């Protein structure tokens, strides 16, 4: 439903052939805030937690990495592991033995510069992908020519479920902001058939689709992230706010636990 606004804005800009230019706007800078990106799944580990900090807006340097934190993941079954910092990937911490299990609740604890940060996420089950179909679509005003993938699944009804989809083409993840595909099942039928994935693939591409279960908090975070990325600061946009994080103590980012299912198809040209 969020796409409606985007259509409207696109129309508006088209109508007015607006003019854009870079201007100088002096900005204040915040005190550095901790930024967390962590995930645990029901797939075999290791699982990673990446820590960094906010930087000056106009700086072109990458975000400063946090390499000296103590990062722990524990579950509600009494398992706990302190993650190891990977010196070849500064800011990334990895598990070595922990195994994510559906139904358990995971707690991430970070101690950094005397501050304590915490997040919880429940590892929810996910439905299966029944099949993926491949069909050729000719060029049209709204679509590029190519092979499109159609998704089939049975979606459990009676409760609200949230999903994140990840698309890999020949093992590389689509990772722009437009590829951050999240969805809930409000207004969605139990039998999902022929749901088109918005990518035009070419012959011989190997495409993998992963479906991750996420919690409402994580879903709200992703929606907030997409909104803030698309917020143009204009009068039709809501006031800009940071995405709601599930991490305590003013940290940014998210910690999520997900069940994952996936399917892979190779585009052979057959319909």
Partner 1 sequence: MNVSKGLLLLIFCALFGYSHAQSKYTISGYIKDARSGEELIGATVYVQELGTGATSNAYGFYSLTLPEGNYTLLYSYVGFINQKKALTLTSGQTINIELSEESVQMQEVVVSAQKMDENVTEVKMSRENIKIERIKSMPALFGEVDVLRSLQMLPGIQSAGEGTTGLFVRGGSADQTLMLLDEATVYNASHFLGFFSVFNPDAIKDIELYKGGIPAEFGGRLASIVDVRMKDGNSKNFAASGGIGTISSRLTLEGPLVKDKASYIISGRRTYADLFLKLSPDEAINSNTLYFYDLNAKMNYKINDKNRIFLSGYFGKDVFGFDDVFGLNWGNTTTTLRWNHLFSPKLFLNTTVLFSDFNYGFDINDGAQNFQWKSNLQEYALKLDFNYFLNPSNELKFGSNTMVHRFSPATIKPKNSNSIFESFALDNKYAVEQAFYLSNNQKISDRLSLQYGLRYSLFQNVGPGRVFQYAPGVPKADNTIVDTVSYGRLEKINLYHGLEPRLGARFLVDQNSSVKASYNRMRQYLQIASNSTAGLPIDRWVPADSYIKPQIGDQVAVGYFRNFKDNMFEASVEVYYKWMQNQIDFKDGAEILLNNNLEAELLSGKAWAYGSEFMLKKNTGRTTGWISYTLAKAQRQIEGINNGNPYSPRYDRRHNVSLVLTHELSPRLSLSGNWVYTTGSAVTYPQGFYEVEGQRIAYYPQERNTSRMPAYHRMDLSLNLAGKKKPGRKWESSWNFSLYNAYARKNAFTIQFRDVINGDPGVSEFDDDLVINTREPKAVKTSLFGIVPSVTYNFKFQ
Window 167-226: residues binding partner 1 (CB under 8 A)? 175-178, 180, 186-189, 192-196, 220, 223-225
Q: How many residues bind partner 1 (CB under 8 A)?
A: 78
Tell me the closest approach of the beta carbon of residue 80 to partner 1, in angstroms. 25
Greatest alpha-carbon pair distance for the chain in Å reads 60
Q: What is the Cβ-side half-sphere exposure of residue 148, based on CA atoms within 13 angstroms?
A: 15
Binders of partner 1 among residues 46 to 65 (CB under 8 A) are 52-60, 62-63
Please choose, from the candidates 118, 102, 16, the residue with its C-alpha nearest in 3D space to the C-alpha of residue 69. 118
Select the span of 77-85, 103-111, 123-131, 238-246 touching partner 1 (CB under 8 A). Answer: 238-246
For partner 1, which is the closer residue by CB, 228 or 265? 228
Binders of partner 1 among residues 134 to 163 (CB under 8 A) are 140-142, 150
Query: Is the bond leading into 46 cis (omega within 30 degrees of zero)?
Result: yes
User: Distance of CA 199 to CAs 152, 174, 182, 220, Å?
Assistant: 16, 10, 15, 24
94 binds partner 1 (CB under 8 A): no
Spatial separation of the C-alpha atoms in residues 223 and 2, rounded to whole Å: 9
Tell me the closest approach of the beta carbon of residue 77 to partner 1, in angstroms. 25
The 10 Å Cβ neighbour count of residue 207 is 21
Among 244, 262, 268, 269, binds partner 1 (CB under 8 A): 244
């Amino acid at each position: 439903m969020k796409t409606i606004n985007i259509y409207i804005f696109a129309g508006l800009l088209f109508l007015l052939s607006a003019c854009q230019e870079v201007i100088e706007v002096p900005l204040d800078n915040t005190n550095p805030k901790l930024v967390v990106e962590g995930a645990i799944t029901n797939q075999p580990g290791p699982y990673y937690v990446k820590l960094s900090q906010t930087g000056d807006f106009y700086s072109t340097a990458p975000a400063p990495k946090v390499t000296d934190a103590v990062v722990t993941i524990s579950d509600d079954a009494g398992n706990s592991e302190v993650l190891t910092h990977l010196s070849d990937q500064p800011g990334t911490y990895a598990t070595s033995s922990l195994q994510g299990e559906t139904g358990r609740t995971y707690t991430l604890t970070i101690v950094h510069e005397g501050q304590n940060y915490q997040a919880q996420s429940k590892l929810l089950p996910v439905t299966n992908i029944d099949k993926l179909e491949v069909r050729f679509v000719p060029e049209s005003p709204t679509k590029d020519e190519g092979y499109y993938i159609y998704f089939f699944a049975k979606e459990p009804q009676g409760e609200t479920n949230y999903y994140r989809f990840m698309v890999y083409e020949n093992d590389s993840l689509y990772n722009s902001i437009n590829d951050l595909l999240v969805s809930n099942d409000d207004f969605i039928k139990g039998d999902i058939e022929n749901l088109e994935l918005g990518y035009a693939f070419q012959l011989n591409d190997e495409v993998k689709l992963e479906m991750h279960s996420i919690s409402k908090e994580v879903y709200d975070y992703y929606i907030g992230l997409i909104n803030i990325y698309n917020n143009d600061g204009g009068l039709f946009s809501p006031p800009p706010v940071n995405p709601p994080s599930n991490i305590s103590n003013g940290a940014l980012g998210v910690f999520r636990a997900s069940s994952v299912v996936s399917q892979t198809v190779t585009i052979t040209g057959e319909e």
